[in-house]
Amino acid sequence: MQEHTCTVLAIDDHPLFRKGLADLIAMEHSLSLVAEAADGATGFELACQLQPDLIMLDLNMKGVDGMETLKLLKDADVDSRVIMLTVSDAEQDVVSALRAGADGYLLKDMEPEDTLHYLRQASQGRMVISERLTGLLAHALRNEQKAPENLRAAGLTEREEQILQLIAQGLSNKLIGRRLEISEGTVKVHVKHLLKKLNLHSRVEAAVWVVNNAQKE
C-alpha cells in the first residue's frame, strides 16, 4: 500500500513532452507533479527547494544538460531519486548516467502505460531501467572484464551478499534497510564495499552482474 503521494519534479526542455508527462502523472493517484523546469539550472534550484521524492531528468538539454544536472544534484546531496528519461539509448550515455548516480534510465519511446508502470516502481523506491537497455549494460560489463567470474570469487560477506540480492531486486537503500532492520547509512557502507569488491561503479551494474551470473549457473 502506498504510504504517501510521491512528489515528482520534471526537468525537460521540450514543453510538449512535459505536458504529456504531466497528463500521465495526473492519471496515477499515488504520484503528484509538484513542479516542472525547462532547463537544468532551474531544475536544480527547484530540486534543492522542494526536495521531491522523484526527479525525471532529460539527458540532452541546452545549457546545463542532464549529466551536469545529475552531478550537481549528487554533489549537493539532494535526497531525491533521479530517473533519466531520454531518447538516447547510446551505451556511453546509459553507463555514464548510472555511474554518476542515476537511480534509473528510461527511454521516451516507451508506451505510456509502460512509462507509468516504471514511475510507480520508482515511486516505491525501486531501481528502473528500460528492458531493452539491460542487454546493452551487460555487454558493456563484459567488455570491461573487470568484475569477478562469480559470487564466490567476489569474496563478499554474508551481509554484502544479502544486500546485493536485494539490489538485484531493485530495492533502494532505504527499503533494504527496512528489510534487514539496519540503518540506511549502514546499507550505504555495505553497498560501497561490495561495489569495490565487484569492481563495479553503480548499483544498476551490480544488479545486471547478478542476473548474468544467475544465468550462468
Please say if the pLDDT value at position 184 is more than 80. yes
Q: Which amino acid is at 186?
A: T
In a domain, 141, yes or no: no
Asked if residue 117 and residue 82 are part of one domain, the reply reads: yes
Asked if residue 107 and residue 70 are part of one domain, the reply reads: yes
Asked if residue 151 and residue 113 are part of one domain, the reply reads: no
- CA dist., res. 89 & res. 134, Å (int): 11
pLDDT at res. 1: 39
In this predicted model, which residue has the larger pLDDT, 139 or 177?
A: 177
Q: How does the average pLDDT of the chain come out, rounded?
A: 88
pLDDT at res. 142: 65
* pTM, 2 dp: 0.74
In a domain, 175, yes or no: yes
Output DSSP code: residue 59.
Answer: S
Asked if residue 53 and residue 20 are part of one domain, the reply reads: yes
DSSP reduced 3-state for 35 = strand
CATH at 190: 1.10.10.10
Please say if the pLDDT value at position 124 is more than 90. no
pLDDT in tens, 140-156: 766 665 667 667 777 88
pLDDT at res. 131: 84
pLDDT in tens, 86-100: 999 988 898 889 888
In a domain, 136, yes or no: no
For range 154-176, the mean pLDDT: 89
The pairs formed by 182-189 with CB atoms below 8 angstroms and a separation of 24 or more are 187/163
Domain boundary residue, one of 106, 130, 154: 130
Number of domains into which the chain is organized: 2
Range of the domain at 179: 146-216
Percentage of the chain with pLDDT > 70?
93
pLDDT at res. 171: 86
**C-alpha torsion sign, points 129, 100, 203, 181:** negative
Q: Are 134 and 208 in contact (CB under 8 A)?
A: yes
Asked if residue 207 and residue 107 are part of one domain, the reply reads: no
CATH at 14: 3.40.50.2300
Please say if the pLDDT value at position 24 is more than 50. yes
Asked if residue 115 and residue 17 are part of one domain, the reply reads: yes
Closest CA to 108 of 40, 60, 50: 60
Closest CA to 9 of 30, 37, 38: 37
Beta-carbon contacts of 158 under 8 Å, excluding residues fewer than 6 positions away, are none
